Structure 1
């Protein structure tokens, strides 16, 4: 079975999507449509902006979404997923790819999500840190006994877990994790504590937008971050998408479940190859590739 996976924040790069825009009329039309929906020329930033420009949350999330979704659209008949999943933001790309959301509604939700998360970040100093070389249960235990808000946020692959929370609590947890034998406990250059209770204000704001959006029955199951299981009920998909902002991304568990359910090949759709690397660390025998457009397209 073919699994298609969609990356999240951090995969952006200058020039992303330019090859699609220049080589495919359908892609060009979708990019121009996106400029109209967002009310600014995101294509200018994607194609010519500096890394600093691309790091703005209002740009980063829609840019990665657009690269992923437009690529999936121009793959044509070769794009036949049996299952989809996305890492954090990538879950919205996956929901357009399996026809739960329209392109336009998906982009509006991504833009709303980015703005709501940015506002939540500004309310309180917060951050995230990558922890390498420890079992998940040890990381969870340290988070649980550290003063302040700090939680496990991204279960990326065995031995790689990202924690999220208040700046002071993250620093304390990093010291404790190093003492427990972590190979690294490194604070990340992010603007806030994503997938933690500190995103509650963003969750409330996004919930209203999600509830007001039509979610259709998908063409194939989505393995959602919150449950790490196949979901096809539109109301369940909505609820899980709302919960996602304050809940951990269970990527390891999602990939394991997709393999259990028959996934034999994972194709990453969008910028970068980060998810392919994570899939191979989760299961060395998994086959992976990047989505590419037929050169005649």
Structure 2
């Protein structure tokens, strides 16, 4: 018996026109989700997801809700075709969609939290001058050591912000320290790719934002999951509404543990993985974590699940 896990992408999967095909094939989605989101957030997400340019998506305060909405619409299409997940997980931002898919959050509440989260992170990023980068080819232990050395050399913060797959790790922090680490990592033989994150996601620099975000979390209605739900914050299962709140609170300052999350999905019995949302970044990560896994994607708007060819080595935060 096939057990399908739905996995939801984070920032980095956005692309121009990512909702165009979905809206063309299922125009009712525009009223059900996109225009309702426009009214809720005051952002023309329907237009941006259908006809927007890459420049429209440079601001994470726009890009993150747009990725969330496109993933939500793709989930609605899959469920309309009778495909339900056995388990769900999401990478960083994608965890909010996983919570919606598992029945923990209403989609409007999750969208509002996504907007607030991105605003808080952007505010801190503007104040401290932040940067984010993906390091490919170094072990986590070596990267932790380089973070410590860069922090000592610059008196600035740089930390491991995410474990995307065994040989790809994201770092986040203040720009000077990230630059120092980038040079050190390249000298050690690693490839480094600067990321356009819009703030120091998953770092201790966001501790001051936790209090404001926690107030909103406490005021939001959470329910116990209706199906197996794996957190990218802990790498383990979320069993209760209270655990979901703790996970989202910790997500601001704690690194993404995507390799562990995928391993937990596999250990739970999942044997097929469907990336639900724009792009195919997450499918590539899953394939590198589980080389023998069956991985599929909705791509940028396909009305049904299609096979992923060799996926590009892109990154998500």
**TM bucket, shorter chain:** over 0.9
Query: Counterpart in 2 of 1:32?
Result: 35
Distance apart, 1:149 and its partner CA: 1.0
Q: Deviations over 1:143-175 (max 9, x none)?
A: 123222111111011111111111111122222
Give the drift of 1:77. Answer: 5.3
Give the drift of 1:294. 5.0
**Given the two structures, how large is their TM-score scaled by the length of structure 1?**
0.94
Conserved? CA contact 2:6–2:273, under 8 Å: yes
In the TM superposition, residue 28 of structure 1 has moved relative to its aligned partner by 2.0
Match of 1:15 in 2: 17
Whole-angstrom distance in 1 between the partners of 2:111 and 2:5: 22
Q: Distance in 1 between matches of 2:88 and 2:304?
A: 21
Q: C-alpha distance in 1, partners of 2:35/2:56?
A: 19
Give runs of ≥4 in structure 1 deviating > 4 Å: none
* 1:161 lines up with 2:165 in the alignment: no
* Offset from partner CA, 1:253-290 (integer Å, 9 cap, x none): 11112112211000000000001100111111011001
Structure 1: 5+ residue runs without aligned partners? none
Say yes or no: does 1:149 pair with 2:153: no
Q: Which moved more, 1:96-105 or 1:17-26?
A: 17-26
1:268 aligns with 2:271: no
2:68 to 65, 69, 72: 65
1:111-260 correspondence runs (5 A): 111-146=115-150, 147=152, 148-182=156-190, 184-260=191-267
Q: Greater CA deviation, 139-148 or 210-219? A: 139-148
Q: Distance in 1 between matches of 2:42 and 2:234?
A: 34
Taking the TM superposition and a 5 Å limit, the aligned residue runs for 1:45-124 are: 45-75=48-78, 76=80, 78-124=82-128
Runs (5+) with no aligned partner, structure 2: 306-317
Q: Distance in 1 between matches of 2:59 and 2:8?
A: 20
How far residue 25 of structure 1 moved from its aligned partner, in angstroms, is 4.6
Contact 2:147–2:158 (CA under 8 A) maintained in structure 1: yes
Q: CA deviation at 1:216?
A: 1.0
2:286 and 2:91 map into 1 onto residues whose CA distance is 12
TM-score by length of 2: 0.88
* Aligned pairs, number: 294
